[in-house]
Each structure stands twice: as structure tokens, then as C-alpha cells.
Chains A and B, each alone.
Chain A
Amino acid sequence: MFNTWFQLCWREWKRILTDRRIVMILVGGPFFYAFIFGGVYWQGRAKHVPIVVVDQDHSRFSREITTAIAASENMQIAGWVNSPEDFLALARHEQAYACVIFPPEFERDALAGKKPRIGLILDADNILVNGSTLIGLRAIVATYQVGVNEERAEALGLPKAGALAASMPLAPATRQMFNPTSHYSFYILMGLICIAVQSVTRIGCGISIELDSVEKWKKDFPDRAVSRWEIFFSKVLATALLVLPVGGIALMLPFVLFGAPYRGSVLFIALAFTIFALSQICIGYGYASLCRSAVVCTQLHLFMSVIVFTASGFTWPYYAAPEWIRWLGWLMPLFHMNCIVRKSALVGAPPSLLLAQHLLPLIMLGVVAFAWGWWAVRKEMSENPAGGGRD
């Protein structure tokens, strides 16, 4: 029996490995995307955002704050301009993303106890750049505000400790847990690799099933009748033997090569990934059967990939999404896989916590995918006995 199984799987494997298109997608795809995405987010934070300064005061105070801005890791001074109007052209040419303005007599008003204002114009087009710049500038200005208040309180005769308390009575002590350096790639890379594995597996399976047929099985095994169950199992198994190591290595790259922290159980993620990959193979067959054409199926997956990733709640947090989107996400294996990877790797959640919340739903969805895949393979083998595509 094992010999027969081995022969069936070997036949499927040979078929996949000798088709350059399927190999390119299933083997090359995950690595290609892992390296591309890893390279894009290599730096991890939007550092050194170029900004310009409009110093209409030319005072010691304005120069001090400018020096503090230049010393910040978040920003770099791209230049000085005469007026805020000059910033518009620089923003449109991507040469500056923010403009800090010190109005005339800024220092004199501060010393006289009047309330001068620092102007800040931000190119609010890009939330990531804008957020990083705004947080950096707010921190610098708040530090100066506290410093000035502290000096004043000391001048009024308060001791140093009392002066600090009077200048900032209630200070938040913020701790960014699970990703303390706010590294963008730690947060996004593993999710992107999961969606890449999903897309390439589905596309590869769609092409693979269209090129196969009952007649080809009969030709390859003229001496024995091969049941549709055997065809289905050998297809799933052979594809999984290719997808699992390739996808698994790609999923390890963020931790091994790109330095993301890993606090979870390797075995648990491996188990979840196995169920996820098997589900994707079956879903790939399911879509192929619905589309009835490898071209339409591939195009459908390409159209869907961004939406599926967004709806899975990996970037836009699912707990902040509308209720129905949360339900939709719950019905996707990608949502549970992403949650398991993120919570296990970054949060360090033990398997016992994730078992009922994400692994069992993943298994349930896997069973549904399995049934769909079996139905699809059976239908394809009946309706397309000659194989070779219907384009």
C-alpha cells in the first residue's frame, strides 16, 4: 500500500517539479516576497525625516531647539528657508516633510512671560512619516516646556525635586511592550509572508489542477484503477511536501535573518502552519474548480490578495474594525494564522491561550477547506477528463 502511495505522490511531485511555472510560483514565490519585504522594511523605522526650519527670530533659544531637532534620530534638517511658503514646493518635490517656524521675537516673548508659539507645518499625506515626525517634535517641545517651567519654579525658591513636580505634576511613563523599538518590520513582515504563502499556494494549485486529468492518470498507471480519493490525497500530500518546507523557511526568515524577536513555541507555530498550508492547498483547488480556468483563477487571487490581507486584521487592527469585518476575518484561515504567529512570536502567548481562540477555529476551517478541495478535485476530474485547461 505504501509503495502505491509513494508512486502516486512521486508522480504528482514529478509533475509539479517539471513544470517551470508551478515551480517558479510555489518555490520561488515565498522567498522572493520574503526578501523583497524584508529589504523594504530593513531599517525598521522612518528615521531621519527631512525637515526645513524657518528661523525668523535668530535667537539663542531658537538655535537651541533647532540643535535639539537635529540631534533627534527621527528627523534631519534638510535646510533653512525664508518663509513657510517655500515649504510647499519642497513638499511637492519630496525634499521636506515638515517645516518648523520660529516667529520673530520668540525668545523675547518667552522671557517676558508672554506665550510665544512655534509653528509646525506637516505634510500629512503619509501617516507613517507624519506620525514619526510629530511624535519627535512634540517630545522635544515638551522637554523644553518642562525645562523652562522647572527653571522658573526654582527661581521662585522651590527645591529641585519640588520644581520638577510643579512643572510636570502627572507624567506618563510609557512602555511599548512586545516591540519596544517600534520596529515596523517586526510588526508587518510575518503577516506579509503568510499572505505571500497563501497567494502562491492557491495560484500554484490552480494551475496544477488544470494541467492534470483522469486520462493522464490512466496513462501513468495503466495497470491499476486509481480512485479519486487517491488522486486527491496524493495531490495534497505532494504539494504539501513542497509548500511546507519552502513556506516554513520563508516564515523563519523574519526571525533568523531580519532580527525579529521570537518568544513563542516553535512546535505550536509549526503545527499551525501545517494546518494553514494544507487548508490553502485545498482552497486553491476549490477556487480553481469555481473559476474553471487557471487564468481567471490566478487573476482572481491577485485581485483578492490586498483585500484579504487588509480584512485579516493584520495591519488595520481587527478589534478596531466594524463588527461584520471581524466576523469575516474570523472565517479566514489567514486571520488565525497571523494571530497565532504574532501573539506567539511577539507577545509570547503560551499555546494553552491560543488553542481555543485560534488553533481550534483554524482546524475547523481546515476541515471545511478539505471538504471543498475534495469536492473540487472530484469535479475537475469528472468534468475535465482530458485536462490541459479551458482557456
Chain B
Amino acid sequence: MRGQRKYLALVVIAPIAYMIALGLIYSPKKVLHVPVMIVDQDHSRLSRQLTTALLASETFALGGYSETADDFPREVALDRAHVCFVFPAGLERDLLAHRPVRVQVLLDYSNYLAGTAELSAANTVLGTFSVGTQIRMLEAARGVSPDTSLLRVIPFEMNTRMWFNPAFNGNYLNYLAVGLAYVVVQLAGLFFTIRAGSSELRGQHATPLRQTESRVWIALAGKLLPYFLAAVPLSIIVTHLAHWFFAAPQLETQPSFWFVLIWFDAVMVTLGYGLSCVAGEPVFATEMCASLTMPNFLLTGYTWPIFAMPKIMWIMAYGLPMNPIVFMTRKITTMGGGLADCGAQLIGLAAWSLIALALAWCGTRKILSTAQEEPAAHV
């Protein structure tokens, strides 16, 4: 590891900087203050009350008023509004005359995440207002008590309980931070050793591995141990940063979490070394890592569920090394499960362990065998 200060500094500092930046980007935790355009064609007490109720929601902020909804696409393009509420003329009059009335809600769905948050907030505000209006109408028309009218308005209720993320309110930090941390844990693990094999093959060390009279397994263990010891604390810091600084929830006391985290680090360090030996040069080895890691997160099923992918993509989703670790971590740290719930993922990680060990073993053998060839060459 000596003589690689700049390179090691990147591998250590980049993951920590990455997690801090990620935490800061998602620090609002949910989509807030989306600019709203109000088209009030009624100019009534009701439309003003509705406007006040909508703007009292933390999701919305006033972007402006307009005479017609035709301006909405233009306002979206200029980022002045991403939701538009249209209160048609005669809104209050129709409501008082017991005629059905509709408030038009135009949502900018070109951003799916923002659109879904906007839809949910609009439904909540207008739904609450609708129920309130209905209760008042019943009370006024039939002279029933508020409790009875509430029962009549909501004949049955849906009680929702969110498991594994109890403070759930579209909180993106809680949802994404755990998974995205493993993007850099994986990269750091691989990059720690990505030059270790090729530098041995090129003889760039003061005491090359090939000059030591070791067995393959002993040489391999001795070679990887320092990198592994550096990778483990880094991965612990990276996986906990969102929890320490940005209050992301984590049930972290389970030994099974430490077991899978350390196992994953060991696999990545070994795999990086193996690829380094196979490639023979660090740039090519880094490219091999890139092809393995770049599409990895989106393919793991962590954000977009695997059951919603075409079947042919399932092979890639389950076959990449990040799939087992993100799902095991989610099950252990968020769902409170244990290794018994991680059968498929354990098999996946075990398979990658074998691949990494096979590559590393072959690479070390190749390095050690050059020791026998070199003296012969000198003779």
C-alpha cells in the first residue's frame, strides 16, 4: 500500500464525501414547496378558502395566478409552476345548489417523483375539504349532530400502517441512503486492490510477492489483509454517515449486519485483486470494475422492483454482487430480520465469494510462478 498516497486518499475520501453530499441533497427528505399556479375563475369565498388550504400544505408554494390553464405548459417550461388548480366559474353556486362540482388539478408528471408527491398532497387537501363540506351540508340539511354526520360521510375508514419506515411520508433520505451507500462501499472495496495484482506482475514493489517463498493461499492472505483492514472501517463509516448526521433510521445492533458487511468487504477486496491480476494493468481492471458497478444500483431492484422488470433482466439483477448486500442490509437493518430471512442473498454472495477467490487464487499463482521463470530467464 506504500507509495500510493494520492490514489488511496481518493479511495478513502471520495466515499465519505459522496455520502455527505448525498445526505445534503436529500436533506429536505421529501418534496416540498412545489410552485403552484392558481386559476380562479370563480372568485368566491369557497375558491379563496380552497386556495388558502392548498397553500397551507408544506408541499405547495404559490407560484402565481393566471386567468386560464392554457398558460400552464409555458409556466412549467419556465419552472414557475409544476401544479395548477383550476376553480371553474360557478363553483360555489353549484355546491350550494347540491350540484356536483369539480376542481381541476393539472400535474406536471414529466418528473414522476414530484408528480406523485403533488398528486398525494392535492388529494389529501381536497379530500379533507370535501369531507368537511359534506359534514356541514348534512348538519345543515338534516339537523344531525357532528358525530353522526361524520359517520355518514365516512361510512368506513382505511387505517394505514407503514411498516419498517414508521415515520414514512415520502421520505427519500430514509429510503435511498442505505442502498446508495453500497455503491461507494463496493467501489472502494474494489478500488483498494485494483492495482495490487497488476503492480506485482509488473514488479513495481520493493519486495515483490514473487520473491517470497510462500504458498498461494498464504501469499494471497498476506497480500489482501492490509487492504481488507482498511476497507472495513471505511465501509462502517460510509454505511453509518446518513444515520449519524442526517437521522436516517438504522437498527444496527444485530451481529448479522456486521457479519454480512465484513463478508461483503472481503469479497470486494478479493474480487478487485483478482480482476487486477486478470487484467494485468490498472486502467483495464478499473474499466472491468466500471462495467460491473455502473448499472449495478439501478439493476439491484432496490429502487425499481425486480418483479416489475422483464424476466430477462432478472438474471442480471440477481447475478450482480450488489443485489445480495443491499437486500440483506434492508432486511436486517430496516425490517429487523436475520440471516434466516436472507437465503437467496446468502447464496448470491457465496457465489461471488467463490468467483472472487478463484480469480485471486489464479492471479497469485500467476505471480508466484513468475518467480520460477525469472531465474531460468537469467540463466
Contact = CB atoms under 8 A, between A and B. Distances in A.
Q: Which of A21, A131, A303, A389 has the most CB of B within 10 A?
A: A303
Interface string A294-323: 111011101111110011000111011110
Interface in A163-181: 164-180
A60 interface: no
Contacts of B303: 126, 128
A372 B120 CA distance: 45
Looking at chain A's contact residues, the main secondary structure is: helix
Contacts of A119: 159, 161
Contact of B116 (A49, A131, A168): A131
Interface in A205-243: 207
Contacts of B309: 39-40, 42-43
B119 A307 contact: no
Interface stretch (A107-115, A265-273, A363-371): A107-115
A131 B283 CA distance: 42
A317 B141 CA distance: 46
A177 B72 contact: yes
A120 B158 contact: yes
Nearest to A107: B156
B130 A171 contact: yes
* Interface size classification for chain A: 35 or more
A383 B122 CA distance: 60
Contact of A320 (B28, B195, B313): B28
B184 interface: yes
Interface stretch (A5-13, A275-283, A341-349): A341-349
A127 interface: yes
A175 B107 contact: yes
Contact of B101 (A162, A171, A311, A315): A171
A357 B80 CA distance: 12
Q: How many B residues touch the partner, as a band?
A: 35 or more
Contacts of B106: 175, 177
Given A36-B295, A173-B104, A175-B105, A125 B18 contact: no
A127 B29 CA distance: 12
B187 to A, nearest CB: 6
Interface of A: 21, 24-25, 32-33, 36-37, 39-43, 45-50, 88-89, 91-94, 106, 109-110, 113-131, 134-135, 137-138, 141-142, 144-145, 148-149, 152, 161-162, 164-180, 182, 184, 187-188, 192, 196, 199, 203, 207, 293-296, 298-300, 302-307, 310-311, 315-317, 319-322, 325, 342-343, 346-349, 353-354, 357, 389, 391
7 contacts: A40-B309, A48-B307, A92-B341, A115-B155, A120-B159, A187-B112, A316-B31
Given A169-B137, A170-B129, A171-B101, 7 more contacts: A21-B284, A36-B316, A169-B130, A170-B130, A172-B122, A177-B76, A391-B282
